[in-house]
Amino acid sequence: MPNGRHENNSNGRIFFRPTILETGRHDSFRQTLEGEYVFRIDRGDKPPFDTYNEATKELQGIIQACIRDGKSLRAHGSLWSLSTVAVTNGRLIDNTALRLAFEVPHALTDSGYAGDAAKLRFVECGNSVAALNEYLFASGLSIKGCGSNNGQTVAGAVSTGTHGGAYNFGAMQEMVVGLHLITGPNKHVYLERKSYPVMQPDFAQSIGADFIQDDTLFNAALVSLGSFGIIHGIMIETRALFILNAVRFRHPYDATLKAAIAACDPTLIPLPAVANAVPRDKPYHFEIFFNPNEGTPPAEAIVLVMYESAYDPDNYTPPEWNAGEPGLGASGLDIMGALVGKIPSPLNKLALPLLNSQVEAEFSPYFKKAIIRDLFRGEKTLGKTLGCGVGMPVSRAIEAMEIAFRIYKDANVVLPLILSHRFVKGTRALLGFTRFDTTAVLEMDAVSTPETRAFYNKVWEALDAAGIPFTLHWGKYNTFLTPDRVRNWYGDTAVDHWLASRETLLESAAVRKIFNNDFTVNAGLTN
């Protein structure tokens, strides 16, 4: 253990793994560090609730040790973030073995709870989206929305505001209605919104936490970039399993498509004949991809829309999927990942036909019926890919995309690059980057090269110059962040409330200090 002094008792689950370098899943950064605390897998020797409560104590012990040793600390999830939000030069916590999940006794819910108590679940932070999907499936339940893949942890995904294209639902944090935060060696809290009571104080008591109902504190802690201590448990609302009729097809980049984008209304786009019978009364997902190497702008876009229908367990067969390939919900980043190693580097115009045929093959049209678990999965690439998500009001989406096209054309280079739009309902999280009522997320996904990084920078600068209000995904490439920009984007009130909430919730200045990292310093989000 660090300094040979950590109070790791023989019954405990944690051990310390000295590690001197962390690079993230996609080798998108280099972070030197002292090492990480790792939880052993729970062998099920004790009742799950006891195991959960013991893990709380161990997490508090880790905080204590880091204060004592003057080391910064940060919990990480699957380390899928392409920014340095999840790392620090001190110690990390690998929480991926913290995978308990609980049904919530109806008797412990607040009598005023507006939702369905039977669909509440309390899940430990290290559950991956994939594990959560499997767990819920067994009860005929589903998460309400997720990103394009399923490898992130629930806590990690929520902490950066991970979103998909569920434009009537929002980003993943929208399903969260309670947070168990370890906020110091002697303090931990169970937090929910006052305006949306879910649990009785007895529930907080059963996990030994202070019970707090407060909208501002909750909205601050929801997207907290690892800075609000350690999220141990997350109370989520789920829904009954449902089918998504997913249709991917090519459509001219024309007035019809532009009208659908401007109105954020996928129903304006006619479906291909193969999907004519799809019910269109419940649109769910809306996403549009552009390959700028087919023309800037290209004559055609690749459209992915999904419409809901009822799930019938007796007649459901998951679509076939080769686990070595990107899943059906694959984003531009997965497609770029699939191309790493297949396309020549450096690229030149001679390689364009090959590049375009690869993109075309990866984005081939399909019509599939599947539940969330089987659509959004499967990221296998470990190559140097880089993605950036730019959130903006939907009313500026077309203008922004045209700016990106123009910059690409003017650069006169060939980049392995996919540009896309996903549309997401706005969030109440104070620093959720999908903060616009309907947020259009301009995604720029690429193989990571100096040229692609330069392209991202030029687009950010040009969006700024055009006066387009925007934010950047915290967990993707976002080196444009500065304290001034963060304040400009989110407003002083939101930033000040976020900082003040941190001060209220964390036990002491010493605890706040250890949960700062270079990323939050550079974004002006430390106190």
Ligand X SMILES: Cc1cc2nc3c(=O)[nH]c(=O)nc-3n(C[C@H](O)[C@H](O)[C@H](O)COP(=O)(O)OP(=O)(O)OC[C@H]3O[C@@H](n4cnc5c(N)ncnc54)[C@H](O)[C@@H]3O)c2cc1C
Per CB under 6 A, residues contacting ligand X are 25-26, 74-81, 85-86, 95, 125, 147-149, 152-153, 155-157, 159-160, 162-164, 225-226, 230-231, 331, 333-334, 379, 389, 473, 475-476
User: Where do the DSSP E strands lie in 97-207?
Assistant: 101-103, 120-124, 141-142, 176-184, 187-192
Least separation in angstroms between CB 26 and ligand X: 6
**Which of residues 262 and 340 has its CB atom nearest to ligand X in the complex?**
340
CB burial of residue 521 (10 Å; 0-12, 13-18, 19+): exposed
- 111 SS3 class: coil
d(CA 119, CA 383): 38
Any idea which residue has 């036909």 for tokens? 353
User: Where do the DSSP E strands lie in 324-437?
Assistant: 366-370, 385-393, 417-425
Cβ neighbours of 457 (radius 10 Å): 15
Least separation in angstroms between CB 257 and ligand X: 22
Strands 141-142 and 91-94: unpaired
Least separation in angstroms between CB 334 and ligand X: 6
Least separation in angstroms between CB 261 and ligand X: 19
**Which of residues 396 and 473 has its CB atom nearest to ligand X in the complex?**
473
**Which of residues 207 and 413 has its CB atom nearest to ligand X in the complex?**
207
**Which of residues 97 and 351 has its CB atom nearest to ligand X in the complex?**
97
Q: Which two tokens stand for residue 433?
A: 């980057």
d(CA 519, CA 514): 13
**Which of residues 414 and 445 has its CB atom nearest to ligand X in the complex?**
445
The candidate with the shortest Cα–Cα distance to 416, out of 369, 358, 365, is 358
Least separation in angstroms between CB 378 and ligand X: 10
What is the separation of C-alpha 62 from the centre of its chain, rounded to a whole number of angstroms? 26
Least separation in angstroms between CB 153 and ligand X: 4
Q: For residue 91, give the H/E element and its range.
A: strand 91-94
Strands 187-192 and 210-213: parallel
Strands 283-290 and 385-393: unpaired
Least separation in angstroms between CB 389 and ligand X: 6
**Which of residues 178 and 389 has its CB atom nearest to ligand X in the complex?**
389
Phi, psi values for residue 470, rounded to 5°? -150, 165
Q: Give CA separation, 147 vs 210, 379, 412, in Å.
A: 32, 11, 32
User: Where do the DSSP E strands lie in 363-410?
Assistant: 366-370, 385-393
The candidate with the shortest Cα–Cα distance to 141, out of 132, 154, 128, is 132
Strand partners, 68: none
d(CA 283, CA 436): 20
Q: Which two tokens stand for residue 9?
A: 């008792």
**Which of residues 37 and 253 has its CB atom nearest to ligand X in the complex?**
37
Strands 176-184 and 187-192: antiparallel
d(CA 445, CA 215): 35
Least separation in angstroms between CB 224 and ligand X: 7
Least separation in angstroms between CB 505 and ligand X: 12
Least separation in angstroms between CB 78 and ligand X: 3
**Which of residues 98 and 414 has its CB atom nearest to ligand X in the complex?**
98
Least separation in angstroms between CB 196 and ligand X: 22
Which string of b and e fits 172-201 if b means at least 16 CB within 10 Å? bbbbbbbbbbbbbbebbbbbbbeebbbbbe
**Which of residues 297 and 327 has its CB atom nearest to ligand X in the complex?**
327
**Which of residues 245 and 434 has its CB atom nearest to ligand X in the complex?**
434
**Which of residues 62 and 414 has its CB atom nearest to ligand X in the complex?**
62
Least separation in angstroms between CB 299 and ligand X: 27
**Which of residues 97 and 343 has its CB atom nearest to ligand X in the complex?**
97
